[in-house]
């Protein structure tokens, strides 16, 4: 596990630091997406707020994590799959937010459906966010 995080950082030409390793670990442990605040709580007093902001920003730039749009103003982040590279995210999958437990899932195997746009509109990227009740809460 640790070695996996290590190779992620190496692969992206990032220095291996305690905070980066820890934050990668938190994402791996989480069964869903994390907000900045979640990370802050889970790593209580371990490192500065600013470090978390900067780490998340770096990870997004490098294509290690991606942001998930939400209707409220919270910014969520989740681990990207291998196909993501710097400057190009391949997060063309559906995100699911559970109304009950509030966990956000990346549904890797539900590809975003294509949308028919009016004439003159050129599509660049599509985000699909479904909300409802997740597998666990439904049981």
Partner DNA sequence: ATATTTTTGCAACATTATTGCATTTTATAT
Partner DNA sequence: ATATAAAATGCAATAATGTTGCAAAAATAT
16 or 107, CB closer to its own copies? Answer: 107
Among residues 17, 85, 86, 102, which is the contact residue for DNA, using CB under 7 A? 17
SS3 at position 63: coil
Which H/E stretch holds residue 36? helix 36-42
Q: Is 2 in the site for its own copies (CB under 8 A)?
A: no
Size of the site for its own copies (CB under 8 A): 40
- The alpha carbon dihedral of 33, 36, 40, 46 has a sign of positive
Q: Is 113 in the site for its own copies (CB under 8 A)?
A: yes
In terms of Cα–Cα distance, which of 47, 38, 54 is closest to 19? 47
Other Cβ atoms closer than 10 A to 41: 10
Judged by CB under 8 A, the stretch of 12-20, 22-30, 43-51, 120-128 that binds its own copies is 120-128
Cα 20 to Cα 109, 135, 137: the distances in Å are: 28, 31, 32
Upper half-sphere CA count for residue 45 (Cβ side, 13 Å): 0
Residue 43 contact partner, candidates its own copies, DNA, none, CB within 5 to 8 A by sort of partner: none
Q: Is 67 in the site for DNA (CB under 7 A)?
A: no
Per CB under 8 A, residues contacting its own copies are 67-75, 94, 96, 99, 107, 109-110, 113-135, 138-139
Per CB under 7 A, residues contacting DNA are 14-20, 36-37, 46-51, 53-55, 57-58, 73, 75
């Amino acid at each position: 596990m640790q070695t996996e995080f290590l190779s992620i950082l190496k692969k992206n030409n990032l220095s291996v630091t305690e905070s980066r390793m820890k934050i990668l670990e938190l994402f791996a442990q989480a069964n869903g997406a994390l907000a900045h605040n979640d990370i802050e709580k889970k790593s209580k007093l371990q490192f500065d707020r600013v470090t978390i902001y900067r780490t998340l920003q770096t990870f997004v730039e490098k294509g290690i994590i991606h942001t998930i749009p939400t209707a409220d103003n919270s910014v969520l982040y989740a681990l990207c799959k291998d196909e993501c590279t710097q400057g190009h995210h391949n997060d063309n999958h559906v995100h699911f937010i559970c109304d009950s437990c509030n966990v956000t899932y990346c549904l890797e195997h539900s590809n975003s459906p294509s949308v028919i746009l009016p004439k003159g509109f050129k599509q660049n990227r599509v985000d699909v966010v479904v909300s409802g009740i997740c597998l666990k809460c439904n049981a």
